[in-house]
Amino acid sequence: MEQYIIKGGKPLTGEVLISGAKNAALGIIAAAVMTDDIVKIDNLPDVKDIDVLLQAIEGIGAKVERINRHTVRIHGGKINSVFLDNDYLRKIRGSYYLLGALLGKYKSSAVAMPGGCNIGSRPIDQHIKGFEALGATVKIEHGMINAKAEELIGSHIYFDVVSVGATINTMLAASMADGQTILENAAKEPHVVDVANFLNSMGANIKGAGTDVIRIKGVQKLHGSEYSIIPDQIEAGTFMFAAAASKGDVLIKNVIPKHLEAISAKLLEIGAQIEEFDDAIRVKASGRLGHTHVKTLVYPGFPTDMQPQMTAILSVSQGMSIVTESIYENRFKYVDELSRMGASIKVESNTAIIDGVERLTGAIVSAPDLRAGAALVIAGLMAEGYTIIEHVEYIERGYENFENKMQDLGAAMEKIDSEDTKAVRKFKLKVS
Ligand code: EPU
Q: pLDDT tens for residues 151-180?
A: 999 999 999 999 999 999 999 999 999 999
| CA 116 to ligand 1 centroid distance, Å | 10
Establish whether residue 366 lines the binding site of ligand 1, counting it when its CB lies within 6 angstroms of any ligand atom.
no
| CA 330 to ligand 1 centroid distance, Å | 13
Q: How high does pLDDT run on average in the chain?
A: 96
Establish whether residue 125 lines the binding site of ligand 1, counting it when its CB lies within 6 angstroms of any ligand atom.
yes
Q: Write the pLDDT tens digit of every residue in 181-232.
A: 999 999 999 999 999 999 999 999 999 999 999 999 999 999 999 999 999 9
User: Can you list the domains of the chain with their CATH numbers?
Assistant: 2-19+231-431 (3.65.10.10), 22-228 (3.65.10.10)
Residue 367 has pLDDT above 90, yes or no: yes
Angle of helix 190-201 versus helix 164-174 axis, rounded to 10: 10
Higher pLDDT, 119 or 131: 131
Q: Give the model's pLDDT for residue 114.
A: 83
Residue 128 has pLDDT above 90, yes or no: yes
301-330 average pLDDT score: 96
- Is-catalytic flag, 20? no
Residue 39 has pLDDT above 80, yes or no: yes
| CA 115 to ligand 1 centroid distance, Å | 11
Our mutation pick for probing the ligand 1 site, out of 49, 129, 164, counting the most ligand atoms within 8 A of Cβ, is: 164
Question: In angstroms, rounded to a whole number, what is the distance separating the alpha carbons of residues 75 and 187?
Answer: 29
- For residues 291 and 356, the answer to whether their CB atoms sit within 8 Å is yes
Residue 115 has pLDDT above 90, yes or no: no
Our mutation pick for probing the ligand 1 site, out of 129, 192, 327, 402, counting the most ligand atoms within 8 A of Cβ, is: 327
Find the catalytic residue in 44, 72, 117, 147: 117
Residue 49 has pLDDT above 80, yes or no: yes
400-422 average pLDDT score: 96
Residue 334 has pLDDT above 90, yes or no: yes
25-47 average pLDDT score: 98
Q: For a pLDDT cut of 90, what percent of the chain falls above it? A: 93
* 328 CA closest ligand 1 atom index: 15
Q: Give the model's pLDDT for residue 432.
A: 84
Q: Write the pLDDT tens digit of every residue in 229-271.
A: 999 999 999 999 999 999 999 999 999 999 999 999 999 999 9
Residue 356 has pLDDT above 90, yes or no: yes
| CA 399 to ligand 1 centroid distance, Å | 18
How many Cα atoms sit within 13 Å of 204 on the Cβ side? 32
Q: Give the model's pLDDT for residue 185.
A: 98
Residue 118 has pLDDT above 80, yes or no: no
* 128 CA closest ligand 1 atom index: 8
Establish whether residue 371 lines the binding site of ligand 1, counting it when its CB lies within 6 angstroms of any ligand atom.
yes
